Amino acid sequence: MNTIENLKWRYATKKFSGQRIDAEDLNKILEATNLSASSTGLQPFRIFVVENEELRKELGAGSFNPQIVQSSHLLVFAAHNKITLAHIENYMAHIAQQRDIPVEALADFKAALVGGILSRSDEENFNWAARQAYIALGTALIAAAELQIDSTPMEGFDAAKFDTLLQLEEKGLRSVVILALGYRDTENDGFVNLKKVRLDLADLVTFVQ
């Protein structure tokens, strides 16, 4: 199937079958997600893959989303709660190492990032970081669909509880959105055959001449 067909095939799965995703496919989704674009390339977020059923029961308790527990794997996208000079310097060192150039060659780029990012408040930077995490979420959704793996993006979770149970605050992170992965329960998920509801392209898009 091509990408459009795969995106028509995907839907926000409400009931998973219990079938597990194999490690190779999971890795492909994670690799694709890592290839997602991010503003300045900083990737100011991290992803936690939660498999453990007991932990997922705790995470999902009280949520209206049983997918937190019933999916094969749960991905938690967590954004940096503040951006520091160390984040920027680590990023410069990483670019220099990957591209085999002296870090000094990145002085202008570093100055632009320091001037732009560090002049904003921590809250502004957290919101910016969260937006980058959402772009990665979109990439993960597409990658999963291309592999015919089902998924549910979710904001219906207790972020404070996730942060505590996954010890995210200690890592300078806050959970922002989660993604359940697995295989649809075709028999029991009433959403399987629902027609997709989307705007007409003409209502979504304006071509500006």
Ligand X SMILES: Cc1cc2nc3c(=O)[nH]c(=O)nc-3n(C[C@H](O)[C@H](O)[C@H](O)COP(=O)(O)O)c2cc1C
- Please report, as ranges, the residues that interact with ligand X according to CB under 6 A: 11-12, 14, 65, 152-156, 177, 196
Minimum gap (Å) between residue 156 Cβ and ligand X: 3
Contact by Cβ (8 Å): 16, 185: yes
Question: From the CA atom positions of the chain, what is the Rg in Å?
Answer: 19
Comparison of 31 and 155: residue with beta carbon closer to ligand X: 155
| Nearest to ligand X of 91, 126 (CB atom) | 126
The full DSSP string for 20-65 is PPPHHHHHHHHHHHHTS--GGG---EEEEEE--HHHHHHHHTT-S-
Q: Locate 75 and state its tokens.
A: 């991905």
With CB atoms as reference, the residue minimizing the distance to ligand X is 156
Of the pair 87, 174, the CB lying nearest ligand X is at: 174
The Cα–Cα gap between 87 and 45 comes to 11
Taking the complex as a whole, how short is the minimal distance between the CB of residue 157 and ligand X, in angstroms? 7
Nearer to ligand X, 88 or 130 (CB): 130
Q: Whole-number minimum distance, CB 180 to ligand X, in Å?
A: 9
Distance from C-alpha of 28 to C-alpha of 31, rounded to nearest angstrom: 5
Crossing angle for the helix pair 85-99 and 107-117, nearest 10 degrees?
Answer: 150
**In angstroms, rounded to a whole number, what is the distance separating the alpha carbons of residues 82 and 127?**
9
Report the C-alpha gap between 25 and 61 in whole angstroms.
Answer: 28
Q: Smallest distance, Å, CB 23 to ligand X?
A: 26
For ligand X, the closer CB: 14 or 80: 14
Nearer Cβ to ligand X (12/61): 12
Q: What's the min distance (Å) between Cβ of 87 and ligand X?
A: 25
| Shortest Å distance, C-beta 19 to ligand X | 19
Which helix (H) or strand (E) is 151 found in, with range?
strand 150-154
